[in-house]
């Protein structure tokens, strides 16, 4: 019997393979809800959710908001600018004040690694990590894995190369943990200056050249070059990065089989990925976005009730 999810979702590193599978399986029926004419089910009626975004986000925030609204939860968005955060209030004080207004869940994005877990230990409400610094972005990892499972049928034995800026990437880290737990082989590929020093200790192989990653992999997850986080000179120039590591049709045409191409967005077209590839037939970038809503609905649904009732899952009413 799989372990229930618990109160918070802060990192895929802390989940078991069964817990990850539970979320993915729960996401399946939620895909259909978003295809209905009336895209709403009453499952989270009366639940109040605060989206606490201390960092810019379009896709993730809107995806969470759609997921919450399609489950009939009441939602409030708080951005750091224009709130008391800009007056110097601490994270815990902000959250405790929100909790005093009887909320049920907090979705948090924060620039500090570990902030979601820190908050989860200090408030009663469920906390969902929507990206904490360079640590993890668990729902993005889950939606990437769901997209791969849709495409290949299973994750076990799949060869996934994660390419680009691993050093700053919480998406990369969540993918690595999630994919390895489900039995995939994971390689990372990027300039040495953008790979974490201890990256092999996570259980991945390093492939220094993107040409070799293309030969090896079933799927490529191309990470965004996080220009806003790069304070030091990690790469000589964007042009050179594109020349050495950019995913182009020329490179992709040499692949021994059809590769599935993923990107968590927002894309730097012409830097880590060329437009012809991003918009090409092997790209699943938009299905990833669609799956994002279903995965987040599944996480919200599961966290709102604790553990699933396994005894009832197979029985009759």
Partner 1 sequence: MDDRAIARCLARMASEIVERARGTEQLVIVGIQRRGVELAARLKRLIDDAESSHIAFGKLDITLYRDDLQAVGPRPMVGETTLPELDGKIVVIVDDVLYTGRTVRAALDECADFGRPRRILLCVLIDRGGRELPIQADIIGVTVSTGAGDRVDVLVRERDGEDAVAIVRGT
CB of 315 to partner 1, least distance (A): 9
Q: Which stretch binds partner 1 (CB under 8 A): 181-189, 220-228, 281-289, 308-316?
A: 308-316
The DSSP string of the chain is -PPP--S-B--GGGS-HHHHHHHHHHHHHHHHHTTSSS---GGGTT-EEEEEESS--SHHHHHHHHHHHHTT-EEEEEESTTSGGGGT--HHHHHHHHHTT--SEEEEEESSTTHHHHHHTT-SSEEEEEEETTS--HHHHHHHHHHHHHHHS--TT-EEEEES--TT-HHHHHHHHHHHHTT-EEEEES-GGGS-TTGGGGT-EE---HHHHHHH-SEEEEPP--GGG--S--SS-HHHHHHHH-B-HHHHTT-SSPPEEE--S---BTTTB-HHHHTSTTB-HHHHHHHHHHHHHHHHHHHHHSS--HHHHSS--
CB of 279 or CB of 310, closer to partner 1: 310
Which one of residues 4, 6, 114, 280 is an interface residue with partner 1 (CB under 8 A)?
A: 4
Residues in region 30-89 near partner 1 by CB under 8 A? 30, 32-33, 36-38, 40-43, 45-46, 71
CB of 19 to partner 1, least distance (A): 13
Which one of residues 18, 28, 200, 258 is an interface residue with partner 1 (CB under 8 A)?
A: 28
CB of 29 to partner 1, least distance (A): 4
Binding mask 245-284 for partner 1 (x = CB under 8 A): ----------------------------------------
Which one of residues 17, 85, 123, 304 is an interface residue with partner 1 (CB under 8 A)?
A: 304
Residue 102 engages partner 1 in binding (rule: CB under 8 A): no
CB of 38 or CB of 101, closer to partner 1: 38
CB of 6 to partner 1, least distance (A): 12
Binding mask 164-183 for partner 1 (x = CB under 8 A): --------------------
CB of 16 or CB of 97, closer to partner 1: 16
CB of 3 to partner 1, least distance (A): 12
> Positive or negative CA dihedral for 24, 29, 34, 39?
negative
Residue 126 engages partner 1 in binding (rule: CB under 8 A): no
- What whole-number distance in Å separates Cα of residue 48 and Cα of residue 164? 38
Strands 205-206 and 105-110: unpaired
Residue 307 engages partner 1 in binding (rule: CB under 8 A): yes
Total number of residues that touch partner 1 (CB under 8 A): 31
Q: What residue ranges bind partner 1 (CB under 8 A)?
A: 4, 25-26, 28-30, 32-33, 36-38, 40-43, 45-46, 71, 301-302, 304-310, 312-313, 316-317
């Amino acid at each position: 019997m799989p372990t229930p999810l618990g109160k918070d979702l802060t990192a895929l590193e802390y989940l078991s393979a069964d817990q990850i599978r539970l979320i993915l399986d729960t996401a399946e029926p939620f895909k259909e809800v978003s295809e209905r004419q009336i895209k709403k089910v009453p499952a989270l009626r009366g639940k109040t959710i605060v989206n606490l975004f201390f960092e810019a986000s379009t896709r993730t925030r809107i995806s969470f908001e759609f997921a919450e609204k399609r489950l009939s939860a009441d939602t409030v968005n708080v951005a750091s600018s224009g709130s008391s955060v800009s007056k110097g209030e601490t994270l815990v004080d902000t959250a405790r004040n929100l909790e005093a207004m009887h909320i049920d869940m907090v979705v948090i994005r924060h620039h500090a690694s570990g902030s979601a877990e820190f908050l989860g230990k200090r408030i009663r409400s469920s906390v969902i990590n929507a990206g904490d610094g360079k640590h993890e972005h668990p729902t993005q990892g889950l939606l990437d894995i769901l997209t791969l499972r849709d495409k290949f049928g299973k994750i076990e034995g799949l060869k996934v190369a994660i390419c680009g800026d691993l050093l700053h990437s919480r998406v990369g880290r969540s993918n690595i943990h999630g994919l390895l737990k489900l039995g995939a082989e994971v390689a990372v590929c990027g300039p040495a200056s953008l790979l974490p020093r201890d990256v092999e200790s996570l259980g991945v192989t390093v492939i220094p050249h993107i040409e070799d990653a293309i030969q090896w992999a079933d799927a490529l997850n191309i990470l965004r070059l996080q220009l806003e986080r790069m304070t030091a000179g990690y790469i000589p120039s964007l042009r050179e990065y594109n020349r050495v590591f950019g995913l182009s049709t020329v490179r992709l045409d040499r692949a021994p089989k059809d590769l599935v191409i993923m990107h968590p967005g927002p894309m730097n077209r012409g830097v880590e990925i060329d437009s012809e590839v991003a918009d090409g037939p092997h790209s699943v970038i938009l299905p990833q976005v669609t799956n994002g809503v279903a995965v987040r609905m599944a996480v919200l649904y599961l966290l709102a009730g604790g553990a699933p009732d396994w005894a009832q899952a197979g029985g009759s009413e």
